[in-house]
């Protein structure tokens, strides 16, 4: 949404973005193997809570970040879209892993070849599965993008 | 005779009808089991349901609906008395749910908080792995199957490799077999650690999640050091393993053997005699041995029901018979017994790992047969033959003689079996994976009947399903 | 894999050495007994007698149901196109049994064994979903893996894998 530049609006904008990236809570959308690595990223060794991602909310209404962790099958795609639609703005999507980003090694009838066919994606994370460090890098990239306003959401 | 055939008394089936409607579902199953090939009329005539929807119970003619939509056998429940429509709620649980251990969808028909009927709906993670398996060579096969049960990847790879080696008719050097045993038993520990973490978290002990994963990191670090990956390793391949154990592996294993039992003691302190845990798990989700046989449930749920059956003892593979270990058995077949069985299994697996580490034979980590295993990388620069072998194995793949084989191993969830049909080519003609979680999910209605919703969470956690295993 | 060549006697003898299997072979003389190349017990049974055979197997000691699946031998062998494969396990005798049922036709169909082993329910639904084999007597034969409105049966050999062309693969090449 284009705003007239001005000292007050840019300050409010940056404060709003600061609030958004410092406490983006994820929606639990762990599907397959990547979900296990996502669990590991949230657990003790690679603690996500230090980046403000304190909890993963089960209800999409209370989440602003959806990490699609795993392969999305044809049957799951409408569910994915529905959960995405249920999240209130501003929301971001990280496509975690090769299967979510492009269909991965399963180039066949059963999988959606990339979740960007179903939901708009902000950050893609390669890996099969991406280790916790890769996922954290992606999340921090997303946070950077929110901070600078690159990933703009109303 | 009234049209409403939902209670026993109204159905005229003759002398071999089971006792009236108040009987529990498991007795019904036992009747089917014991009665013979003919499906009793009271089963056919009982409430019907469409494909993915639970039809309302007061359909005009239950028998008509039964003919249209097919009848349910295993998750049909007979009510004590006719419930008014308003008291029955149909609740959909999943596929996106924090406690269903993946994308499992359950349709629950509830009477208040009590679950009467359950319909598990799966397929939300169907990846077409069996079809993909037909497009990959036998050497590439483990990359595909390892992603089925993603908590026990070594087991999937082992099963596939054993099936391929049976068709090839090759033997493995003892070191390769010992390495396989080491990795799979440590994998069993890491899988059970994830299970105890999620079981604890689902029942409210949220810190269990952190503890379980903390211990698991140690194992994953070892796996990463040996295979290059934390998960989905593609390490156990037909012919042996991909690479030898790294230097210093004995110290790593010793560290694991020291740390994990301490962690297990912590979990025992937290959970085993905890009154809340006991209250939520004892007597919950009981399954009898006959039901296990009828549904094909194997692994910890079968052993918790009291049946002494472990493929590592009964039909051993990969040289596991040379190691000393016990098979823990439960008694009641409830969630608590499954918890105890798995906790003890972790200790037994560590015991096996200790013996393997002590007695690891020297030698080759893969078979010498050059038609099957690729030559060492540095030989490719020196020998033309090695180059050709490498080329042929990695582009075309080695041809496996025609035949079919069913290989079963004891995975952390039960009997994992791969049925491989080869027609003499480099790719399998058919790869079918008989996965333990598929059978266990099918038995959920039996285990969940007439219990609270909160119990269903405990039950799902206790059968430890992995949806990648279920849907493939 | 079904085969038109006669099964050698030693191969049969290997299977028949176990009492429950010998009893089954005697009760069903037209079932073809085979000791597969890797030494596994295989019976080929006709669809018309399948439920009876499975019932007899269960009575003979094969308590545990293991698996129902199918193989599509599309144009690969002279016999029937599909093989329905049933796996059973006997804990008391520590034996495995594999039963192959040849199935053919435009609408292939086999009898359901859910009345003997209720656990075959989901497995037969999966075979129906992925191969299109109809199981008569199944209580709820509907799709289980694919969405309900899916067209076709993915694991049949004449259905392609469904791969999508890789995008941008050739962009570096000089046009």
pLDDT of amino acid B258: 93
Which residue is it, tokens 């119990």? B455
Tell me what pLDDT residue B47 has: 32
CB nearest A76 (choices: B98, B125, B220) = B125
Look at strands C95-103 and C41-45 and give their pairing: parallel
**What DSSP designation does C172 have?**
T
Count of CB pairs separated by less than 8 Å, A with C: 24
What pLDDT does residue C11 have?
59
3-state secondary structure of C97: strand
Structure confidence at residue B27 (pLDDT): 56
Judged by CB atoms closer than 8 Å, whether chains meet at C154 and A75 is answered as no
- Alpha carbon distance A136, A122 (integer Å): 14
DSSP class of residue B31? H
Burial of B84 (0-12, 13-18, 19+ CB in 10 A): exposed
Question: Does the pLDDT at position C146 exceed 50?
Answer: yes
Shortest CA distance from B136: residue in chain C: C161
Residues of B within an 8 Å Cβ radius of A: 95-98, 102-103, 123-129, 131-132, 143-144, 147, 150-151, 194, 209-210, 213-214, 216-217, 220, 230-232, 467-468, 471
d(CA B318, CA B315): 10
pLDDT, one tens digit for every residue, chain B (472 residues): 333 334 434 444 445 554 444 445 555 555 555 544 444 444 433 333 322 334 344 433 344 434 433 333 333 444 445 556 667 788 888 788 887 688 898 888 888 888 888 888 899 999 989 999 999 999 999 999 999 999 999 999 999 999 999 999 888 999 999 999 999 999 999 999 999 999 998 888 888 989 999 999 999 999 999 999 999 999 999 988 988 899 999 999 999 999 999 999 999 998 888 898 998 888 888 888 888 898 999 999 999 998 999 999 999 999 899 999 999 998 888 899 999 999 999 999 999 999 999 999 998 888 887 778 888 777 778 888 888 888 888 888 888 898 899 999 999 999 999 999 999 888 999 999 999 999 999 988 888 888 888 888 899 999 989 999 999 8
Is B269 in a helix, a strand, or coil? helix
Q: What is the mean pLDDT of residues C123-135?
A: 92
pLDDT, mean over chain C: 83
Is residue B193 within 8 Å of B219, Cβ to Cβ?
yes
Q: Could you write out the DSSP letters of every residue in A44-94?
A: STT-SGGGT---EESSGGG-SEEEEES--BTTTHHHHHHHHHHSPSS-EEE
* Paired tokens of B53: 């929807």
Give the chain C residue nearest B423 (alpha carbons): C76
Runs of H (alpha helix) within chain C: 9-16, 19-27, 50-60, 120-131
Q: What share of chain A is helix, strand, coil (3-state, %, to 5)?
A: 45, 15, 45
pLDDT of residue B131: 92
pLDDT in tens, chain A (154 residues): 555 567 777 788 888 888 888 888 888 788 988 999 998 998 888 888 898 887 888 888 999 899 999 999 988 888 888 889 888 888 899 999 999 998 888 988 889 888 988 899 999 999 988 999 999 999 999 999 888 888 875 4
pLDDT given at position B148: 92
pLDDT for residue B109: 85
pLDDT tier, C174 (very low <50, low <70, confident <90, very high otherwise) = low
**For chain C, which chains pass the contact test of at least 3 CB pairs under 8 Å?**
A, B
How large is the ipTM?
0.89
For chain B, say whether A49 makes contact (Cβ under 8 Å): no
* Both structure tokens of B249: 């592996």
> Given this model, what pLDDT does residue C127 score?
94
DSSP code string of C54-92: HHHHHHHT--EEEEEEEEE-TTTSSS-SEEEEEEEEETT
What pLDDT does B94 receive? Answer: 76
- Beta carbons within 10 angstroms of residue B325's beta carbon: 18
Q: Which of residues 59-98 of A touch C (CB under 8 A)?
A: 74-75
A129–B151 CB contact, under 8 Å: no
CB contact under 8 A, C162 and A74: no
| pLDDT on residue C163 | 79
* Contacts (Cβ under 8 Å, ≥6 apart) of B271: B196, B200, B205, B208, B277, B339
Q: Which residues does B138 contact at the CB level (< 8 Å), separation at least 6?
A: B164, B238, B397, B398, B400, B426, B427, B428
Distance from CA of A114 to the nearest CA of C (A): 11
Judge residue C93's burial from the number of C-beta atoms within 10 Å of its C-beta, 0-12 exposed, 13-18 middle, 19 or more buried. Answer: middle
Q: Chain B residue closest to C143 (CA)?
A: B51
Residue B87: name the closest of B109, B108, B105 by CA. B109
The confidence score (pLDDT) of residue C2 equals 39
CA distance C28 to B124: 41
- Interacting residues of B108 by C-beta distance below 8 A, sequence separation 6+: B90, B91, B92, B93, B115, B117, B118, B453, B456
Q: ∠ CA B304-B308-B312 to the nearest 5 degrees?
A: 105
pLDDT at C4 over 60: no
Which residue does chain C place closest to B132, by CA atoms?
Answer: C161
Residue C168's SS3 state is coil
- Residue of A80, A109, A110 to mutate for C, most C C-beta atoms under 10 A: A109
Who among B126, B143, B468 is closest to A110 (CB)? B126
Question: Who among B126, B296, B442 is closest to C64 (CB)?
Answer: B296
B401 contacts in chain C (CB < 8 Å): 37
Is the pLDDT reported for residue C102 higher than 70? yes
In C, minimum Cα distance to A107 occurs at C163
Residue B265: strand, helix, or coil? helix
How far apart are alpha carbons B184 and B312 in whole angstroms? 12
With b for 16 or more beta-carbon neighbours within 10 A and e for fewer, the B223-240 pattern comes to: beebbebbbbbbbbbbbb
Q: What is the DSSP letter of B202?
A: H
Distance CA A119, CA A82 (A): 10
Contact B213 A43 (CB under 8 A): yes
Whether B168 and B211 have beta carbons less than 8 Å apart is answered as no
Tell me the chain A residues in contact with residue C160 when contact means C-beta distances shorter than 8 Å.
Answer: 109
Locate A86 and state its tokens.
């249920």
| Beta pairing class for A92-96 and A123-125 | parallel
């Amino acid at each position: 949404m284009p705003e007239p530049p001005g000292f007050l609006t840019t300050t409010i904008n940056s404060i709003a973005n600061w609030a958004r990236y410092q406490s983006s809570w994820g929606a639990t959308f762990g599907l397959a193997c990547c979900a296990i690595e996502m669990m590991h990223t949230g657990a003790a060794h690679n603690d996500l809570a230090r980046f403000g991602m304190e909890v993963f909310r089960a209800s999409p209404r209370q989440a602003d970040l959806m990490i699609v962790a795993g392969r999305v099958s044809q049957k799951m795609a409408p569910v994915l879209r529905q959960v995405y639609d249920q999240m209130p703005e501003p929301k971001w999507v990280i496509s975690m892993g090769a299967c979510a980003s492009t269909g991965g090694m399963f180039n066949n009838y059963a999988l959606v070849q990339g979740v960007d066919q179903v939901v708009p994606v902000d950050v893609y994370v390669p890996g099969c599965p991406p280790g916790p460090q890769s996922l954290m890098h992606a999340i921090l990239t997303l946070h950077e993008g929110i901070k600078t306003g690159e990933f703009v959401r109303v | 005779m009234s049209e409403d055939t939902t209670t026993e008394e109204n159905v005229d089936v003759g002398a071999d009808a089971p006792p009236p409607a108040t009987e529990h579902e498991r007795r019904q199953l036992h009747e089917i089991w014991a009665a013979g090939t003919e499906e009793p009329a009271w089963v056919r005539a009982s409430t019907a349901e469409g494909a993915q929807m639970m039809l309302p119970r007061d359909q005009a003619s239950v028998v008509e609906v039964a003919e249209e939509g097919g009848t349910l056998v295993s998750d049909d429940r007979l009510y004590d008395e006719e419930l008014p429509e308003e008291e029955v709620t149909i609740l959909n649980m999943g596929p996106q749910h924090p406690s269903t251990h993946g994308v499992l969808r359950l349709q629950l028909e509830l009477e208040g908080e009590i679950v009467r009927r359950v319909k598990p709906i799966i397929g939300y993670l169907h990846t077409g792995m069996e079809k993909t398996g037909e497009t990959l060579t036998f050497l590439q096969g483990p990359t595909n199957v390892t992603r089925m049960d993603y908590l026990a990847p070594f087991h999937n790879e082992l099963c596939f490799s054993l099936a391929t080696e049976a068709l090839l008719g090759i033997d493995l050097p003892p070191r390769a077999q010992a390495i396989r045993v080491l990795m799979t038993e440590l994998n069993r520990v890491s899988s059970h650690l994830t299970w105890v973490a999620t079981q604890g978290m689902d029942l409210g002990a949220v810190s269990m999640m952190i503890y379980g994963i903390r211990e698991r990191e140690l194992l994953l670090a070892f796996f990463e050091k040996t295979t290059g990956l934390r998960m989905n390793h593609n390490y156990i391949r037909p012919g042996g393993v991909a690479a030898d154990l790294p230097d210093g592996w004995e110290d790593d294993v010793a560290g694991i053997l020291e740390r994990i039992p301490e962690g297990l003691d912590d979990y025992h302190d937290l959970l085993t005699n905890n009154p809340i845990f006991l209250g939520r798990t004892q007597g919950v989700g009981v399954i009898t041995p006959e039901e296990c046989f009828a549904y094909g449930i194997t692994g910890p749920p079968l052993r918790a029901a009291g049946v002494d059956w472990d493929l590592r003892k009964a039909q051993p593979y990969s040289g596991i018979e040379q190691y000393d270990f016990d098979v823990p058995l439960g008694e009641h077949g409830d969630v608590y017994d499954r918890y105890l069985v798995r906790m003890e299994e972790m200790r037994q697996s560590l015991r096996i790992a200790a013996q393997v580490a002590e007695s690891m034979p020297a030698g080759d980590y893969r078979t010498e047969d050059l038609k099957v295993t690729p030559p060492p990388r540095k030989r490719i620069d020196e020998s033309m033959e090695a180059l050709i072998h490498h080329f042929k194995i990695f582009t075309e793949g080695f041809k496996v003689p025609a035949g079919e084989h069913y290989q079963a191993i004891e995975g952390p969830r039960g009997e994992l079996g791969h049925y491989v049909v080869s027609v003499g080519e480099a790719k399998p003609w058919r790869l079918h994976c008989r996965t333990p979680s598929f059978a266990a999910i099918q038995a959920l209605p039996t285990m969940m009947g007439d219990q609270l919703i909160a119990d269903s969470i405990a039950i799902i956690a206790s059968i430890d399903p992995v949806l990648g295993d279920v849907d493939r | 894999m079904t085969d038109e060549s006669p099964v050698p006697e030693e191969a049969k003898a290997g299977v028949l050495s176990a009492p429950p299997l010998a009893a089954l072979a005697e009760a069903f003389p037209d079932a073809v007994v085979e000791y597969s190349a890797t030494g596994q017990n295989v019976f080929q049974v006709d669809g018309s007698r399948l439920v009876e055979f499975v019932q007899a197997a269960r009575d003979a000691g094969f308590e545990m149901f293991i698996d129902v699946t199918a193989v599509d031998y599309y144009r690969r062998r002279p016999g029937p196109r599909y093989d329905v494969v049933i796996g059973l396990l006997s804990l008391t005798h520590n034996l495995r049994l594999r039963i192959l049922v040849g199935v053919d036709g435009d609408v292939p169909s086999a009898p359901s064994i859910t009345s003997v082993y209720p656990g075959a329910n989901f497995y037969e639904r999966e075979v129906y979903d992925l191969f299109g084999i109809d199981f008569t007597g199944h209580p709820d034969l509907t799709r289980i893996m694919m969405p309900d409105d899916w067209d076709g049966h993915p694991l049949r050999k004449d259905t392609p894998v469904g791969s999508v062309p890789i995008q941008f693969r050739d962009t570096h090449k000089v046009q």
